[in-house]
Structure 1
Amino acid sequence: MKIVIAGGSGFIGKKLTDFLVNEGHDVVILSRKDKKGAANISYVQWLQEGATPEIAIGSADAFVNLAGVSINAGRWNAEHKQQIYDSRMVATDELLRIISALSTKPSVLINASAIGIYPASESTFYTEADTVIGDDFLAQTVADWEKRAALVESEGTRAVFMRFGVVLGKGDGALPPMVLPYKLFAGGKVGSGRQWLSWVHIDDVVRAIRFAIDNNHIQGPVNTTSPFPKRMDDFGKTISSVLHRPHWFPVPSFVMKAVLGKKSALVLEGQHVLPKKLADNGFEFKFPDLESALKNILLEDV
């Protein structure tokens, strides 16, 4: 297949590109810079004055939208929150314009999303059947993002919203800062420890995206999380066990709020999310349990 990726230089985008190229597909990465491609990878400029990526693309089987300012970078002040929001809307609008300009439409748009659309809760679990939306910044951003991406359906293109949980992988994403205190022998309970952490291994993220491209009856929201989420304290204890480091130094909620500001909600609050749509369609996780996922990421030759 020929697959176009927006956000191909990011944490998930790099892994997805490698995965698709290894399968023998042609990948087109939309980039603000003019770059030289490699085997089965080409770069096309977009979001620049005068750029006409639709001409260079010609046609494609699928589009994957991973573009947007990271929610993990910087404090959530008014300026940064606006950048997070606007970057997603601008990129999605441009993808909609590109697809509209193509004479042959892609069969599917896989659009990144997040489980942050659901309200935080220690007692409720969520599947794709739940339509309740949180009232905080992240939930409203995700809801607007999905609504915007859904407009592609007017072109006859299937829309899939991959609601990512906390993605775990080597060297990037949420895991390194979570592991660092344990490496320094200072790991422990964060906040109450009862908040849910719905996680997923990066390898299963890219496999789930590929699965959604292939299965043309999958559409709408797709929870992309392990079937076995953990409460934060249990998550920390598993890191402790895998690294053979103590789990003893608690970090109170007020400390996290002082350090991270409003962004502290990412670690002090959580959602218990289950990947029902993936399970119902026969997707099999490579790393369904946290211990095997952490061993694969944190330990050499596992």
Structure 2
Amino acid sequence: MHILLTGGTGLIGRQLCRHWLSQGHSLTVWSRRPEKVAKLCGTQVRGVGRLEDIGQQAVDAVINLAGAPIADRLWTHRRKALLWNSRIKLTETLLAWLEGREQKPQVLISGSAVGWYGDGGERELTESSPPVSEDFASQLCIAWEETAQRAEALGIRVVLVRTGLVLSAEGGFLSRLLLPFKVGLGGPIGNGRQWMPWIHINDQIALIDFLLHQKDARGPYNACAPKPVRNREFAKTLASVLHRPAFMPMPSFALRVGLGELSLLLLGGQRATPTRLLAAGFIFRFTDLRAALDDVSSRL
């Protein structure tokens, strides 16, 4: 199978490349820095700077994960425009290229996030739940999904992966938490009651591969472990795994003052459950947060 990836040099993309190379698939990564693809993704992975460079080679599946990191910087007008263009505009470019191809891929798996729902409070959120609140992150995910969904009109099966907080030793949000926790300054954020839908990186890779091969899989899937936890429990568990205390809470007002609109990502949450994945027969390897953090921490 020939698989085209956008965002292939990111945390999830790199792992997918390793996984699919081991299965003997042919991989192409569309990247702004194609010269670095082989080093980051594997020497057998082809990097292209333009979709036209693929030529007439058949593409069986497209994995669309590209997008600038949402929590790395303050949400200035300029940053919001970058976040929007790196997802929606890029996906529009991808769709235009797909439309012009005589032989189209069978499936498009496109990225999204549980932030699609907005701050869900205490509601249990399944894939059939509507957005609860439409902050910027929610609007971004909604537009991203709606854009990708247009590939259905081209006869392409579209799968939307609403990812939670990915636990990995190679980067992601967990790497940002390590320093304060390691020096004993970790703790809950705000009142600590907000829900955190998490997923181990191995399960993230496995479920994308699962959805790739499920011929009847289409539409949104919550990519998070079956047991979300509150922020307070997450902080306590991470501190325990690192053998550190977790008594230094981050006050809500300080986050709002320091981060502005971005603070909504930290002070809100989603009690999301992977209802459709479980119904389709996907089996999570990591359903317990402590076990997942133990596994990841051994490689940090």
* TM-score bracket relative to the smaller structure: over 0.9
Measure, in 1, the Cα distance between the counterparts of 2:82 and 2:221. Answer: 25
**1: CA distance between counterparts of 2:34 and 2:251?**
46
Tell me which residue corresponds to 1:131.
130
Give yes or no for the alignment of 1:29 onto 2:33.
Answer: no
* Counterpart position of 1:258: 257
Query: What's 1:227 paired with?
Result: 226
Q: Secondary structure at the match of 1:160?
A: strand
Taking the aligned partners of 2:106 and 2:59, their CA distance within structure 1 comes to 8
Give the one of 35, 41, 48 matched to 1:44. Answer: 48
Q: Which aligned pairs between 1:39-118 and structure 2 lie closer than 5 A?
A: 39-46=43-50, 52-55=52-55, 58-118=57-117
User: Aligned partners of 1:112, 1:297: CA distance in 2, in Å?
Assistant: 23
Question: In structure 1, what is the Cα distance between the partners aligned to 2:117 and 2:29?
Answer: 30
How far off its partner does 1:132 sit? 3.0
The one-letter code matched in structure 1 to 2:236 is K
Matches within 5 A, 1:200-215: 200-215=199-214
Q: Contact 1:186/1:249 (CA < 8 Å) preserved in 2?
A: yes
Q: Residues 123 and 104 from structure 1, CA distance in 2 versus in 1: closer, same or farther, beyond 3 angstroms?
A: same
Cα deviation per residue 1:117-176 (whole Å; 9 max; x = unaligned)?
113133101001112352211111111111111110111100111000111111311111
CA distance in 1, matches of 2:299, 2:198: 21
Q: 1:295 is matched with which residue?
A: 294
Letter in 1 for 2:284: F
**Deviation (angstroms), 1:54:** 4.6
Hey, what does 2:283 align to over in structure 1?
284
Amino acid at match of 1:45: G
Q: State the alpha-carbon separation in 2 of the partners of residues 43 and 184 from structure 1.
A: 40
Q: Say how many residue pairs are matched.
A: 296
* Structure 1 unaligned regions, length at least 5: none
- Unpaired stretches in structure 2, ≥5 consecutive residues: none
Contact residue 7 and residue 13 of structure 2 kept, 8 A: yes
Q: In structure 2, do the counterparts of structure 1 residues 89 and 141 end up closer, same or farther at CA, with 3 Å as the change threshold? A: same
Other structure's SS at 2:5 match: strand
Instruction: Report the counterpart of residue 5 of structure 1 in structure 2.
Output: 5
Q: Hey, what's the Cα distance between the residues in 2 that align with 1:255 and 1:171?
A: 29
TM-score norm. by structure 1 comes to 0.93
What CA distance in whole angstroms lies between the structure 1 residues aligned with 2:52 and 2:105?
Answer: 17
Residues 7 and 13 in structure 1, CA contact (< 8 A), matched pair in contact too: yes
Distance 1:16 1:259 in 2: 35
One-letter code aligned to 2:188: K
Structure 2 vs 1, CA of residues 300 and 95 (structure 1 numbering), >3 Å: closer, same or farther?
Answer: closer
TM-score normalised per structure 2: 0.94
Measure how far apart 1:34 and its partner are: 4.1
Structure 1 runs, 4 residues or longer, greater than 4 Å off: 36-39
C-alpha RMSD over aligned residues: 1.6
